[in-house]
């Protein structure tokens, strides 16, 4: 397997997830700041021009964080990244989707890249403010879900791998991270894998 990855971006979560499987994988760094994601070589692998993208052993490339997570969890069941119980599985996917589609895409995206939506600097600040509100709301929801458990779904899962990258971003001083999420991040950072 080969992960197309930009360190510090959301593909951190997939790198972390792959490490949990214990399976060998290569990393090709796609430096977003240098525009590597717009180069023909990478676009030939992923025409969407985004990371993460995972080149699988059969030569096909899989994209979209939740889908890559699901495929990895299904292909390496011994890593126990997704429960076998149908209701727990669907709730794990629901949570994973919330982290990626809401906290990242509707929160952090507006904070990191408001210029993608408007050139107007006042409007950019409005978008940043909106993004901060969405992130703060998302952190409160994650904190409630986690409660006093060790991991978001009780046992470690693909949802924690998504939490790993957004909680890293949420360490910035502009956010107020609930104490139990701080502890979750430390627990995730300290996992042997
Ligand atoms: N829906 C995609 C979003 C991936 C995404 O937005 N990746 C960002 C890095 S965190 C990216 O590649 N941005 C480059 C760009 O949008 O030009 C997923 O779930 O994987």
Instruction: List the domain boundaries for the chain.
Output: 2-79, 86-189
Q: Which of 49, 51, 68 to mutate to test the pocket of ligand 1 (most atoms within 8 A of CB)?
A: 51
- Spell out the CATH class of 86-189: mainly alpha
pLDDT in tens, 86-139: 999 999 999 999 999 999 999 999 999 999 999 999 999 999 999 999 999 999
Contact 101, 187 (CB under 8 A): no
- 13 CB within 6 A, ligand 1: no
Spatial strand order of the sheet with 2-5 comes to 26-29, 2-5, 53-55, 61-63
Fold of 2-79: Glutaredoxin (3.40.30)
Tell me how far CA of residue 128 lies from CA of 4, 20, 121, 136, 189, in angstroms: 28, 33, 10, 12, 28
Which token pair is 45?
Answer: 């692998």
Q: Say how far apart CA 56 and CA 77 lie, in whole Å.
A: 16
Tell me how far CA of residue 166 lies from CA of 13, 120, 143, in angstroms: 9, 27, 13
Model-level pTM?
0.96
Q: Which ligand 1 atom sits closest to the C-alpha of 66?
A: 19
């Amino acid at each position: 397997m080969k992960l197309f990855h930009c360190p510090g971006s959301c593909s951190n979560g997939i790198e972390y997830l792959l490490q949990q499987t214990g399976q060998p994988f290569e990393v090709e760094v796609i430096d977003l700041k240098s525009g590597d994601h717009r180069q023909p070589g990478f676009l030939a692998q992923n025409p969407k021009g985004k990371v993460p993208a995972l080149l699988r052993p059969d030569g096909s490339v899989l994209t979209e964080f939740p889908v890559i997570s699901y495929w990895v969890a299904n292909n390496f069941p011994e890593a126990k990244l997704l429960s076998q119980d149908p209701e727990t599985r669907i709730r794990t996917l629901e949570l994973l989707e919330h982290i990626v589609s809401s906290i990242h895409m509707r929160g952090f995206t507006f904070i990191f890249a408001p210029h993608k939506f408007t050139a107007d600097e006042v409007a950019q600040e409005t978008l940043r403010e909106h993004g901060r509100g969405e992130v703060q709301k998302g952190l409160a929801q994650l904190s409630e879900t986690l409660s006093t458990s060790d991991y978001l779904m009780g046992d470690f899962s693909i949802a924690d791998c998504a939490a790993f990258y957004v909680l890293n971003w949420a360490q910035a001083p502009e956010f107020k991270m609930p104490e139990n999420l701080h502890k979750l991040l430390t627990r995730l950072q300290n996992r042997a894998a």
